[in-house]
Chains A and B, each alone.
Chain A
Amino acid sequence: MKTLKSLGYLLTLPLILLAWWWIATSGAANFFVPTPAKLAETFIDTWMGEKLLTDVLPSVIRLVVGVLAAIVLGIGLGLAVGLNRTMRAVTEPVFEFFRALPPPVLVPVLMLLVGINDGMKIAVIISGCIWPVLLNTIEAVRSIDPVQNETSRSYGISGLSRIRYQVLPSATPTIMAGVRQCLSIGLILMVISEMFASSSGLGFTIVQFQRSFAVPEMWSGIVVLGLIGVALSFIFQWCERRVLRWYHGLKEVENAV
C-alpha cells in the first residue's frame, strides 16, 4: 500500500506533463517538437541498438570513472587539508581560485595538455566535480566536534584509526551533500567534454543530430541524458539512505524536540 502510494506520487507529475505535451503536439505538426509517439519510436530506433554500445556506454563509463575519481580524490585531499591547520591556510586561496573557474574553459586547456582522448574527458569531469567534494570535506573535518576529538584521544584512537572510526563518519553528511552536487556537475561536463573535438559519445551524437536537423533524434538524445541523470540520482539516494540512516534519525529526533 505504502509503495503503491509513493509510486503514485512519483508518477503523477510526469504523467500530467506527458499528457500536456501530447495534447499540445497532436494538432498542428511543429517541425521542432515531435509528438510523444514519434519521440518514443525514434528513441527506440536510435538508442536501443548499436549506439547504446558505441556512444551511450562509453559516455556513462567516463562519467562514472570521473565522478568516482573526483569523490575519492576530493575526500582524500580534503582529509589531508582539513586535518592540518597550516595546509588549510596555504591552500584556501588557491582552492577558491580554481573553484571559481567555470570547468568548461578547462576543456581546451586539457585538450592541449592531455590530448584528445578518454583521459582528457575524464580529466574535465574530475576537474569540475572535485570541488564540492573537496571543499565540503575540508569544511566537515574542520568543524568536527572538539568533544568527539577529545573522546578519541583519551581512548587512544589516533592516526588512521581516528580517520576511519571518527573523522570520516562524522564528516559523511557534509561530504554526501558535496557528492550530490558533484553528480549534476559531472553530467554537464560529460556532455561538454564530448562537444569539442570528439567523434563519439552522447554529447557528440546530440550535437551531430542538431547540426543535421535530425530533430526527433536530438530530442531523444536529451531524453537519454535525462534518464541517466535520474538513474544517478536514484543510485545516490539509495546509497545516501544506507550510509546516513543514523543522521536522518538524529535530525528527526532533534527536530521533534
Chain B
Amino acid sequence: MQSNNPTSHAGGRTLPEGEALLSVRNLKKVYRTDAGDIEAVRNLTFDLGRGELVCLVGPSGSGKTTLLKCIAGLLGSTEGEVRLDGEVITGPPKKMAVVFQEYGRSLFPWLRVAENVELPLKNAGVPKAERKVLVEQALEAVGLAHVPKSYPWQLSGGMQQRVAIARAVAYQPEVLLMDEPFAAVDAQTRADLEDLIRSVWKKLGVTVLFVTHDIDESIYLGERVIILSSSPTVVQEDIVIDLPAERDQLETRSLPRFTELRHHVYAEIQKAKQGHRPEEAITMVVK
C-alpha cells in the first residue's frame, strides 16, 4: 500500500478507442498576432470519460482558457484535434455548455435572470412549457428560485455566477466546461458554489471539466486532476483524487489524504516551474 503516491500518469491519461466522451489529442494552439506568434498550448493529450468530474489546474497564462475554447469549438487548433463522442469538433457542439471566466459579461444585461437562462432553450426551439420547467429547475438547483425577475446587474457577483451556471445546466449539456468560475467571488460564496457544482454533477450525471488555478479547489472538487505545466504548456501529470465521494468543506479539507494530495500537486507544479517536463510521456503518446 503506497498511500503517499496517488495513482497518476505522467502526461495525460488516455482511454482505449471508443471509451472516451471527450478526447484531446496533441492539441497545439499558436496565436498569430501582429507582434508575432504566441504559443499558448504546446501539446496536450488526455481523455475524459462519460460522467467524470475533472479539474484542470495550471498557473495563470498556462493556456487554460485557450484549451477550453478549443474544446468548446470557439477556437480552431493549430495542430491536433478534439473529439466529442468520436466526432472532431469544428464549431461549438450542441451537447456542450460553457461557463465563462468573465461571467458578468457573459450574461445579457437586457434580459432578466429567468430569460437569460431560458434564451439558449428558446433558440433551440424547446417548447414553452418544457422551457418553463427546465428554467425553474435550474434556478432551483443553484438556489436562485426567488429572483427570476431580477436583472443580472442587480445581483452580487456570486449570484451572477449562479445564473451563468443555471443557464448552462438548463441547457442539459453532456459536457459542462467551466473556466475559473469562482476566481472573483468571496471565500464563503466560493465554498457554497463548489458544493453546488458537485451536487449538480451528481444529480445530472453530466461530464464536467473545471478549470482553476487554485490547487485546493481542484482537489476538493475533482475526481481527477490534470496538472498543466507552465508555458510552453503540456500535461505535467494526471492524478486520481481518491477522496470519499461525499465531500464536506470542513471534513474533507482536514483529511490527511487531502493534505497529501495537496502536497503532491503542489510539488508537481513547483517541478514544472523549474522546467522539469514529462517529455517521455509526450513522445509515448505521440507515437
Interface residues of A (CB under 8 A from B): 145, 147-148, 150-151, 153-157, 161, 165-166, 169-170, 172, 246-247, 249-250, 253-254
Asked if residues B123 and A161 are in contact (CB atoms below 8 Å), the reply is yes
The stretch of B90-98, B129-137, B192-200 in contact with A is B90-98
Q: How large is the interface on B (under 10, 10 to 19, 20 to 34, 35 or more residues)?
A: 20 to 34
User: If A147-B100, A253-B153 touch, does A153 touch B92 (CB 8 Å cutoff)?
Assistant: yes
**CB-based nearest A residue for B119:** A165
Task: Select A250's contact among B72, B105, B153, beta carbons within 8 Å.
Answer: B153
From known contacts A249-B153, A253-B153, infer whether A157 and B123 are also in contact, taking CB-CB under 8 Å: yes
Apart from A165-B108, A249-B154: 9 A-B pairs, beta carbons within 8 A: A148-B106, A150-B74, A150-B98, A154-B98, A169-B108, A172-B110, A247-B110, A249-B153, A250-B151
- A-side binding surface: helix, strand, loop or mixed? helix
Nearest A residue (CB) for B109: A250
Task: Count contacts between A and B, CB distance < 8 Å.
Answer: 66
Neighbour of A154 across the interface among B96, B153, B154, CB < 8 A: B96
- Look across to chain B and name the residue whose beta carbon is closest to the beta carbon of A172: B110
Complex contact B120–A155 (CB within 8 A) = yes
Residue of A nearest to B102 (CB): A147
Q: Nearest 4 A-B pairs (CB), nearest first?
A: A155-B120, A147-B105, A169-B110, A151-B106
Tell me the chain B residues, 58-98 only, with Cβ under 8 Å from chain A: 69, 72-74, 91-92, 94, 96-98
Also in contact, A157 and B120, with CB within 8 A (given A246-B109, A247-B110): yes
**Are A155 and B119 in contact (CB-based, < 8 A)?**
yes
Bound state CA distance, A101 and B260, in angstroms?
74
Q: How far is the CB of B183 from chain A (nearest CB, A)?
A: 15
- The reply to whether A153 and B74 contact each other, CB–CB distance below 8 Å, is yes
For residue B187, CB closer than 8 A to chain A, the reply is no
Which residues does B use to contact A, with CB under 8 Å?
69, 72-74, 91-92, 94, 96-98, 100, 102, 105-106, 108-111, 119-120, 123-124, 151, 153-154, 171
Question: How far in angstroms is the closest Cβ of chain B from A156?
Answer: 6
CA distance A254 to B151 in the complex (A): 13
CA distance A147 to B98 in the complex (A): 11
- Minimum C-beta distance from A98 to chain B (A): 31
Cα–Cα distance between A166 and B123 once the two chains are bound (Å): 11
Contact B74 A154 (CB under 8 A): yes
Q: Please, which residue of chain B has its CB at the minimum distance from the CB of A251?
A: B153
CA gap between A249 and B109 in the complex, in Å = 10
B92–A154 contact, CB under 8 A?
A: yes
20 A–B contact pairs at CB < 8 A? A148-B108, A150-B98, A150-B100, A151-B98, A151-B100, A153-B92, A154-B74, A154-B97, A155-B120, A156-B94, A156-B120, A166-B108, A169-B108, A170-B110, A172-B110, A246-B109, A247-B110, A250-B109, A250-B151, A253-B153
Q: A145-B105, A151-B106, A246-B110 are in contact. Are A156 and B153 (CB under 8 A)?
A: no
Given the complex of chains A and B, what is the CA–CA distance between A249 and B98 in angstroms?
27
Instruction: Give min CB distance, B189 to chain A, whole Å.
Output: 18
Which chain B positions have C-beta within 8 A of A156?
Answer: 92, 94, 120, 123-124
Bound-state CA distance A37–B10 (Å) is 95
